[in-house]
Structure 1
Amino acid sequence: MNEGNRSKVKDIFLMGLQMHRSLKIPSFLLFLILYSVTLSGNIMIVILVSVSPNLKYPMFFFLGHLSISDIMFTTNIVPKMLCAIVNEGVTISFLGCIIQLQFFGISLVAECLLLAVMSYDRYLAICNPLRYVYIMDITLCVQLVAMCWFLGFAISLVTVIMTSRQDFCGPHVIDHFFCDLVPLLKLSCSDTSSVILENILLATPLTLFPLVFISVTYVHIFITILKIPSTLGRQNTFSTCSSHLTIVGMFYGTLVSLYVVPSDGRSLNANKVLSLLYTYVTPLFNPIIYSLRNKEIKVAFKRYAFKKKEQI
């Protein structure tokens, strides 16, 4: 294609979740309710961790940042997705698409690393309890969280800069509900091999290495738990990490299925469903699972609700 015949893409049309017209309004209301529940649950976790004295522990500090990541995840994607459901697609500027890709990358990498940090916290608490307080102090907690957010920002920024330097000359339609990297690169009329290589060399290890790290830490945790003589002791110890393990299974199960397992023969709708699971469903279930399985969260919520009731 000659340079003079190229028309640069200024706006991108997201096709969204394609469905029958009779399902548009029910689907919109369902996703809107779920989005509201997701925001409310994660914001409540952040508030409780910030104000409750009985939640001033590393595990809850990391949980608060995990909720912040989930808020960023859903708020970055869901509003445009809801518009696309009602209008059978939505237009987003190329700059808006790049910004959405940036925040998607930040929250994705940060969540992967935060889940690994939380597994390290559980490993120290269960396998090395006598030194836990001295190792996992506030300085280390802040450093670990700062590292998660910095790497999320830096890695996604490199990808975004390299992607934005590509020539995009059409078509301007993406058959997805957000600006994911692979669908966006399909709009490029230049060589995208450098972007793909960069993503493989940087982003892939930052999602797979945490999974390997989590697996290794939990092997040590399970070995330690099995050495506990009493059944009640084993159950109580395992309950302290069961919520985290559930979230890891949900998040990485869909992430690996979508980005690691070969997609040959898988339909675009199947990819959309898998994307929904880790961008929508996992952030929804994070606060629910932790709230239902954690006594400290329940107590903190009751105290916070009672305090607010007294102030009214």
Structure 2
Amino acid sequence: MTAVDGVEYTPRELDRDAPFYVAGHRGLVGSAIWRKLEASGFTDLHGKPSADLDLKDRDDVFAYMSEVKPKYVVLAAAKVGGILANSTYPVDFLSDNMRIQVNVLDAALANDVERVLFLGSSCIYPKFADQPIREDSLLTGHLEETNDAYAIAKIAGILQTQAVRRQYGLPWISAMPTNLYGPNDNFSPKGSHVLPALIRRYDEAAQAGAGSVTNWGTGTPRREFLHADDMADACLHLLEHYDGPDQVNVGTGSDVTIKEIADTIAAVVGFSGDTEWDTTKPDGTPQKLLDVSKLADAGWTSQISLQEGLERTVAWYRDHVGALRG
């Protein structure tokens, strides 16, 4: 049983005037959550950019949390990257994310935060998990080697959230999103995930009038993509309608091949050249489709189609291309 002030907890509408801390509020997911909360009438939102608050610094995190005294926390802050970044810097992805999570969650516990939503990643699941991947597939097999360090850190965050529920009875929850995209994504050629990397690559090729684009791998792996605004909507829905120890998968329930997503992006940006595939580069996990039945049972399904989401994201990218990180 989870409880607040000794009373059994029942999910309900959050207090719009209570202090609400969004860790990572300028990132892809955090900024979408911030927009969603503002649009939903929350009046006391808190967030600090990493330049002003290093979440790896335990003393600073505790001091900030003590000052804000939030009633609600969403932990969306993380060091993230694609296959190249994860393969090259596994120590950074493990160490940085472990410190961020432990510091924020410990500080939230020390300050009696009522509701915490920890956000992980679908890479927590085994490389060859049955598809679509159910929540109970966690810890049943080997991880994908190219991002196992990041996955281990995220698994630790899930377990810490579950441990708080067991030891302290607080109604903290966790959610595992599929591949996300949208405004404020990382479009860096070396540090981004597949979809923003493809948007930048094809758009630059279209602008330059290039005859071809070369992508990593074979193009055959299948991936599920969810717009960040849909993810933000799901987060608020879970906070107000779900309480349970298991992480909740958040996705669309459908997937496409990397080749299909590349062709769609090429069409959206207006690239008419050829696409070539460097098969000496790794593909990563063959398929990663989430079973979203638990989320559907909680009353939520995605609303933004892939075509609409890509058109919106390409438009945002072009409006901000001069100020992008990386």
- Same fold by TM-score greater than 0.5: no
TM-score range, shorter chain: under 0.3
Q: TM-score scaled by structure 1?
A: 0.27
| Higher share in strand | 2
Q: Greater relative contact order (Cα 8 A, min sep 6): structure 1 or 2?
A: 1
| Higher share in helix | 1
Q: TM-score scaled by structure 2?
A: 0.26
